[in-house]
Amino acid sequence: MANDASTVFDLVILGGGSGGYAAALRGAQLGLDVALIEKNKLGGTCLHNGCIPTKALLHAGEVADTAREAEQFGVKTSFEGIDIKAVHKYKDDVIAGLYKGLQGLVASRKVTYIEGTGHLSSPTSVDVDGRRVEGRHVLLATGSVPKSLPGLEIDGNRIITSDHALTLDRVPESAIILGGGVIGVEFASAWKSFGTDITVIEGMKHLVPVEDENSSKLLERAFRKRGIKFNLGTFFQSAEYTENGVKVTLADGKTFEAEVLLVAIGRGPVSAGLGYEEQGVAMDRGYVLVDEYMRTNVPTISAVGDLVPTLQLAHVGFAEGILVAERLAGLKPVPVDYDGVPRVTYCHPEVASVGITEAKAKEIYGADKVVALKYNLAGNGKSKILKTAGEIKLVQVKDGAVVGVHMVGDRMGEQVGEAQLIYNWEALPAEVAQLIHAHPTQNEALGEAHLALAGKPLHSHD
């Protein structure tokens, strides 16, 4: 099988999602000759089946809620329902614009883009539909797909994944959502705004179980107020069709019925049948194992993104891809601190965090060495104006740095930028407290929380 390239590439990337294309762009910027292979569309899950389309649906839901509730602000409106075709057009137009821009960006960096299904054929080559593409180094970035459970048959109509939900041609009257993590609660939020009767099934004891328990409880309270039902602490057992929908049975015998069942139990790596194991790449449950520099056990192969067992976030993929490109170009990149990565769940209200939970901090430092402070958004003028409720919770090592920031409330995802600087720069509460935050903004709630933690609260009680 001949190599069609005129020369051996410095870097061959298998997968054009967030991690893959970030590595391609940064590698080309640093003078590497890069080939980028993608079987579907450049941009991967985030652009086409994840971050962007789900946030478009959530924004459409926010507009619907605003129309319904505008009278509380003195604005008379009427809500006539959801035109799902128009919602999809809005969503698809957003995707198309970003997709076109990304294609132009890759072309402008002189990256060799190859469309086709790739297969790792040696530690330094990828076969693509009859072509062999050779490189001095190969980066595996084949991403992830929605997971299911044994015996749970996905039909794309009544029992669906998030991929199907993004193109569903109707607003379901009722839905059971299996999984109360990020994907599950975001769809619960959007569909509730569209008018769907929602029940979330989560086997763990809280929604968004990886977040600080206080954030989970605040979200659960908000969902109850919105009329979103959920069942916690019992795992799924089986699903069967009914005359008009689906019936779900839990391990304790409890049953639920709805028009559709959305399976949102997470995403699994795309690695089967791609030649990874045959070339000696170390794996675990389908994930490619890497060190802190994203190196596999094979010296010429690296891996990034959802394919590796790190946080499944697009911005993590970006960072990992950039790290690999810079390492191969001879720079000395710093490994990713995954605790320092901002995390946002874009439901209503939003859940945003960076750093570690209070429970984790006590485990690491000891319960007597950890200080936690909660600042209620009821004391924040802009939050009052927006009529959002929630809290900012700070976790601090006693007499030391803030090691966790956990926020619940509308637009909290926009506040996590400063929060990640506070964590990553190991700021002391007193150092943040002396910074002046604009008033009235939600951002000043972060400042107020640090004022309180520094022992000089302003708009909050001692």
Catalytic residues: 439
Q: b/e for 409-419, b at 16 or more Cβ within 10 A? A: bbbbbebbebb
Gap between the Cα atoms of 261 and 155, Å rounded: 10
174: left (phi over 0), alpha (psi -120 to 50) or beta: beta
> Does the bond joining 269 to the residue before it have cis omega, within 30 degrees of 0?
no
C-alpha span between 417 and 424 (Å, rounded): 11
Residue 59 near residue 190 (C-beta atoms within 8 A): no
Crossing angle between the packed helical segments 358-365 and 213-226, to the nearest 10 degrees: 170
The neighbour count for residue 9, using CB atoms within 10 Å, is 25
Six token digits for residue 335: 């490994």
Cβ neighbour number for residue 154 with a 10 Å cutoff: 16
What sign does the dihedral 309-356-441-388 (CA atoms) show?
A: positive
Instruction: Tell me how far apart the alpha carbons of residues 379 and 197 are, in angstroms, rounded to a whole number.
Output: 33
Question: Pairing relation of β-strands 370-376 and 391-397?
Answer: antiparallel
Contact 182, 345 (CB under 8 A): yes
The answer to whether residues 122 and 109 touch, using CB atoms and an 8 Å cutoff, is no
